[in-house]
Chains A and B, each alone.
Chain A
Amino acid sequence: MSSVIVQSGQEVLGVRSIAGPIMIVEGAANVSYDEVVEIRDAQGRMRLGRVLEVGEKVCVVQVFAGSTGLSIDGTSVRFLGDTLRIPVAEEMLGRVFGGLGNPVDGGPQPLTDTYADVNGAPINPTARVYPRDYIQTGISAIDGLNTLLRGQKLPIFSGAGMPHDQLAAQIVRQATLGAEVGKQGTQSEQFAVVFAAMGVKHDVADFFRRSFTESGALTRVAMFLNLADDPPVERLVTPRAALTLAEYLAYECQMHVLVILTDMTNYCEALRQISNIRGEVPSRKGYPGYLYSDLAAMYERTGRISTSEGSITQIPILTMPSDDITHPVPDLTGYITEGQITLGRDLDQKGIYPPIAVLPSLSRLMKDGIGKGRTREDHSHWGAQLYAAYAHMQDVRALASVIGEEELGEVDQKYLQFGRAFEREFVNQALTENRTIEQTLDIGWRLLSMLPKEELTRVTLDEIKRYHKGEDGSS
């Protein structure tokens, strides 16, 4: 636990009350808000905590490791006089840390004088550089229709049992800086991955570690692990610690950092637990009213700034309880992030990988990273047309399920065929399949060519001439 700068501070013996991970401590003077405390139990074991509220001579302390084993009289609390800080250094890449940023891989404490506040500070909007460079992930449903840019925050909305981990790992494996069609993409030397696990099972963490090892990226990855059997309160710090390192790597060491946070739903549950114990007025489903601001304080730690070449791109993963996208966790996340990749249960059940549900997915920054000079000039219309056709196909499919496929008109039958092919050939791809942007655009045009030209009103006539593959789609 020595990853916090220890300053001498006042020590108080005994606490007034303990409820879950929350303690009320009396008798300390001039305590500061959000200050870190060191708690010693009757056996002399240490744990860390943080001040959540201060009053005259009393304060509310949150114990990261939980209060098991703490007693009213046997506990002593030392106030360290500073907010929570972690060491940050380039050599932390390749290492594994616990939920509070302490090394757990048997290696030494990182050697550095730079300690950074885990809460970070807001980026000044005038200092931001608007993201424009796209990342080629090799996954058609992302590169083609939900293009990810450097400096973007794009979560994966998933559900229990769906392959979000595989998808995230594939993105990490395949991501390169995108290039225009006809030019070469490059894997930047200066890339790094910061991975934070909150309340996930051991095998998930192992899966990621294996995947990083296999792709040879492990030396460029820093892992912060708070696993399912680790103290829940610690996970309130885990993503912050990870982002603190990410900021250092991106803005001080000029690296392109990809941050994976999984699973944000577990994080939010921990926050809800603390809030409930403190008796705060809940808003929806028992989550505190400040959940939006709390999440924003982390998600907004993404982007590019004018004084550095580096960038932070965030891919938070969250499982939607009962696949409900209106649940507060995905809902508030969607209100903060720059789009979302939504996985669909129906696609997953059809055996389609990655089961990316195209219609509820969105990359808001896509428009600024595609087109002429970035991907290809037809990309934007091409995407709009695929969406429109696929959206219309959903209506046709619904109708077909009522009146029967044979009753459909000729054009609508073509839509159905298009829809099936779109899911099987465009969305679906192998775990190891790494498609270039050109391949993705080509598959799209091939599918659009299944439809009559008159139906393609989102693309220009020139584009049809250039890329449409059939005479009138009937061939």
Chain B
Amino acid sequence: MSEQVGIITWINGPVVRARGSRHVSMLELVEVGEERLVGEVIGLDGDIITAQVYEETSGMRTGAPIFGTGLPLSVELGPGLLKSIFDGVQRPLPLIEMQSGSFIGRGMRLDPLYRKDRWRFTPRCKEGDSVIGGQIFGVVMETETFEHHIMVPPDLSGTLTWVVEEGEYTIEEPIARLKVGKEEKELTMLQRWPVRRYRPYKSRLGSTTPLITGQRILDTFFPVAKGGAAGIPGPFGSGKTVTQHSIAKWADAEVIVYIGCGERGNEMTEVLQEFPHLVDPRSGRPLMERTVLIANTSNMPVAAREASIYTGITIAEYYRDMGYHVALMADSTSRWAEALREVSGRLEEMPVEEGYPAYLAGRLAEFYERAGYVETVNGDYGSVSIVGAVSPPGGDFSEPVTQHTKRFIRCFWALDKSLASARHFPAIHWLDSYSEYLEDVAGWWREKVGVDWLRMRNHAMEILSEEARLSQIVKLVGPDALPDEERLILETARLLREGFLQQNAMDTVDAYSSVEKQIKMLDLILHFHERALRVVKRRAPVSVIHNLPVVDTLIRMKSAVSNEEQEKLDEIRKQIDEQMSQLDSEYR
């Protein structure tokens, strides 16, 4: 399929130039050098072809050939994606290991999806049906519980002239024929889609459903809507990866795409070893069965790191088109931006800020724009939510990647170094974070949980921001100078911080809080505050409130009460009432 299109004339890291044909196109996939390393055309100037290479170029010679393929960089889509782990250009890492051992070799060409598996295909359309691009014409059980919808490729429509009977087929066997104009096309379960082009949909909708993550500070304080985009910036060691792993584990999405983009090998291994043993509370199946992993770790080639984001988002869109809700995690988008910068630097392009090319903002926008809640081409509803980690140098949010990201996301989960070093986890700072989805999802809470969530949430936020103001004073003069009502604010804020906001991802009970548990916990703390305020107004000193036994109970309820035994929380409410009534009678 590939033919020689030029001779290499220049090599600088992952970037090579060749002289040759004028018929190569931009973003065409090329094979570079004698080892035929995979690359992509990123510049054309007369007969000079510039390409970025997705593998290590050490040892590559000038004078070696470069081959064109006529195709853009694409991903393979079809049954078998779930449970897989790929590199940034969708090479299956387990097969690479089988071929080259523990270390990743070069020049290996492997099909992303396994060809020999047979999948039970059940047609949903028949001969003579006229179908449009994206329409579902059959289904396959990809796992025991996951129904994979086989769709007509988005850019084709016509009349089905033949559909196979229900049976087991490989992804390459023809399962239908489609008449498009005068031409007849064979359809298989396997499709390809160029990664840098978004997949079409009918329309974009605003979303009013939150993506429930089981993380209290996210769901209750800074929710992201399904189809929304959130950024999670923070210095090293502040909890970006742990938060993303938690979301990947517990979010109420049907499919998770997790992109480890320029981060640690061990973190991907951790997911690989842990997810098969964790059970998805909704399907009762191992979490791995709804997960696709893309691993292009920091020591893997930098150009493939750049591609990994697109590989991941295209797979996410594909599942969205089937009518599913997909959550995509990218850890870390800063490493992706640095890959852009590195390639740009080797091309000697004019940098704008901190060495980043002028098109950084545009690329970030394109990526986050691929999130969305859509009506699919076949009239179903699906979504892709994006959670992107950002790793600002020195933890300074004024740097370009954080700043540009802020323009394209509506939910900002700001990790804070001092919270992390005090081991307050998740170290998401409640005063620096925001969500623009609050109003959008308030209705969902009212309908599904039956509470005025927004009012409670805002009340808690008031207490927390009041605390911030008061602690400034305390720092200068000590707590004794404050009136008791204000000291109570400090006490309640402590309960909110330690009893509600802190959530230990390593604790089996605390790792995931159902929304019902979240709202009950919040309600308890606010109720405590209200009762305590009454007592304080009767001139009881705050110290007696601080020493109530129920305070300790409130701080421990997050891990002491599981999602299944929430009646225990009603018990705690009784304790609050009893102990407060006792004080009521002592201070008349």
Whether A and B are associated in the same complex: the answer reads: yes
Interface residues of B in 262-318 (CB under 8 A from A): 262, 264-266, 268-270, 272-273, 295, 297-300, 302
- Cα(A54)–Cα(B10), bound, Å: 5
Most buried by B among A280, A289, A297, A338: A289
B102 contacts across to A, CB distance below 8 A:
123-124, 127, 251, 305-307
Q: Which of A121, A296, A367, A403 is within 8 Å of B477, CB to CB?
A: A403
B85 interface contact, C-beta 8 A: yes
A408 contacts across to B, CB distance below 8 A:
478
Most buried by A among B237, B395, B480: B237
Stretch at the interface among A86-94, A357-365, A420-428: A357-365
- Cα(A131)–Cα(B60), bound, Å: 35
- Cα(A291)–Cα(B476), bound, Å: 43
B265 contacts across to A, CB distance below 8 A:
122-123, 125, 128, 300, 303
- Cα(A133)–Cα(B350), bound, Å: 49
Interface residues of B in 548-563 (CB under 8 A from A): 551-552, 555-556
B103 touches A122 (CB 8 A): yes
A331 interface contact, C-beta 8 A: yes
B9 contacts across to A, CB distance below 8 A:
55-56
B59 touches A289 (CB 8 A): no
Q: Closest chain A residue to B241 by CB distance?
A: A364
- Cα(A359)–Cα(B498), bound, Å: 18
A399 interface contact, C-beta 8 A: yes
A407 contacts across to B, CB distance below 8 A:
478, 480
How many residues of chain A have a CB within 8 Å of chain B? 80
- Total A-B residue contacts, Cβ distance less than 8 Å: 215
A296 touches B423 (CB 8 A): no
B479 contacts across to A, CB distance below 8 A:
409
A296 contacts across to B, CB distance below 8 A:
262, 297-299
**Nearest CB of A to B390, in Å:** 12
- Cα(A423)–Cα(B435), bound, Å: 41
- Cα(A407)–Cα(B481), bound, Å: 11
- Cα(A297)–Cα(B300), bound, Å: 8
B103 touches A281 (CB 8 A): no
B354 touches A284 (CB 8 A): yes
B11 contacts across to A, CB distance below 8 A:
32-33, 53-54
A467 interface contact, C-beta 8 A: no
Interface residues of A in 366-408 (CB under 8 A from B): 367, 380, 384, 387-388, 391-392, 398-399, 402-403, 407-408
Stretch at the interface among B223-231, B337-345, B522-530: B337-345
Given the contacts A121-B105, A331-B393, A399-B474, A290 and B236 also touching, CB distance less than 8 Å: no
Most buried by A among B266, B477, B552: B266
Contact flags A275-292 to B (C-beta < 8 A → 1, else 0): 000001111100011101
Given the contacts A31-B62, A83-B58, A399 and B475 also touching, CB distance less than 8 Å: yes
B264 touches A300 (CB 8 A): yes
Q: Closest chain B residue to A29 by CB distance?
A: B63
B355 touches A281 (CB 8 A): yes
B422 interface contact, C-beta 8 A: yes
**Nearest CB of A to B41, in Å:** 19
A439 interface contact, C-beta 8 A: no
B422 touches A388 (CB 8 A): yes
**Nearest CB of B to A308, in Å:** 8
A55 contacts across to B, CB distance below 8 A:
9-10, 62
B396 interface contact, C-beta 8 A: yes
Q: Closest chain B residue to A456 by CB distance?
A: B552
B391 interface contact, C-beta 8 A: yes
B477 contacts across to A, CB distance below 8 A:
402-403
A33 touches B423 (CB 8 A): no
B94 interface contact, C-beta 8 A: yes
B269 touches A128 (CB 8 A): yes
A35 interface contact, C-beta 8 A: yes
B335 contacts across to A, CB distance below 8 A:
292
A292 touches B270 (CB 8 A): no
B421 contacts across to A, CB distance below 8 A:
359-360, 391
How many residues of chain B have a CB within 8 Å of chain A? 74
Q: Closest chain B residue to A59 by CB distance?
A: B62
**Nearest CB of B to A21, in Å:** 18
Q: Closest chain A residue to B19 by CB distance?
A: A56
Q: Which of B93, B302, B341 is within 8 Å of A125, CB to CB?
A: B93
B103 touches A391 (CB 8 A): no
Q: Which of B101, B237, B395, B556 is within 8 Å of A362, CB to CB?
A: B237
Q: Which of B10, B264, B341, B394 is within 8 Å of A289, CB to CB?
A: B341
Q: Closest chain A residue to B10 by CB distance?
A: A55
B395 touches A338 (CB 8 A): no
A403 touches B62 (CB 8 A): no
A339 contacts across to B, CB distance below 8 A:
237
Q: Which of A128, A284, A384, A398 is within 8 Å of B266, CB to CB?
A: A128
A30 interface contact, C-beta 8 A: yes
B61 touches A30 (CB 8 A): yes
- Cα(A202)–Cα(B75), bound, Å: 54
Q: Which of A387, A398, A457 is within 8 Å of B555, CB to CB?
A: A457
- Cα(A335)–Cα(B395), bound, Å: 10
Given the contacts A33-B57, A128-B265, A289 and B475 also touching, CB distance less than 8 Å: no
A301 contacts across to B, CB distance below 8 A:
299
Most buried by B among A123, A326, A362, A409: A123
- Cα(A473)–Cα(B62), bound, Å: 75
A82 interface contact, C-beta 8 A: yes
Chain A interface (Cβ within 8 Å of chain B)? Answer: 29-35, 52-56, 82-83, 117, 119-131, 151, 251, 280-284, 288-290, 292-293, 296-297, 300-301, 303, 305-307, 326-328, 331-332, 334-336, 338-340, 359-360, 362, 364-365, 367, 380, 384, 387-388, 391-392, 398-399, 402-403, 407-409, 454, 457
26 A-B pairs with CB atoms under 8 Å apart are A33-B11, A33-B60, A52-B12, A56-B62, A121-B56, A122-B300, A123-B265, A125-B85, A125-B260, A125-B269, A126-B96, A126-B97, A126-B269, A127-B101, A130-B270, A290-B13, A292-B335, A292-B338, A303-B265, A326-B396, A364-B237, A402-B478, A454-B547, A454-B552, A457-B552, A457-B555
New A-B pairs, 9, CB < 8 Å, besides A83-B58, A296-B299: A53-B12, A56-B62, A123-B102, A125-B268, A126-B272, A293-B299, A293-B342, A300-B299, A362-B237
Top 10 A-B pairs, shortest CB-CB distance: A326-B394, A296-B298, A391-B422, A334-B236, A127-B102, A34-B58, A300-B299, A125-B268, A121-B103, A30-B63
Chain B interface (Cβ within 8 Å of chain A)? Answer: 9-13, 56-64, 85, 93-94, 96-97, 100-105, 235-237, 260, 262, 264-266, 268-270, 272-273, 295, 297-300, 302, 335, 338, 341-342, 345, 351, 354-355, 391, 393-396, 421-423, 474-480, 498, 506, 547, 551-552, 555-556
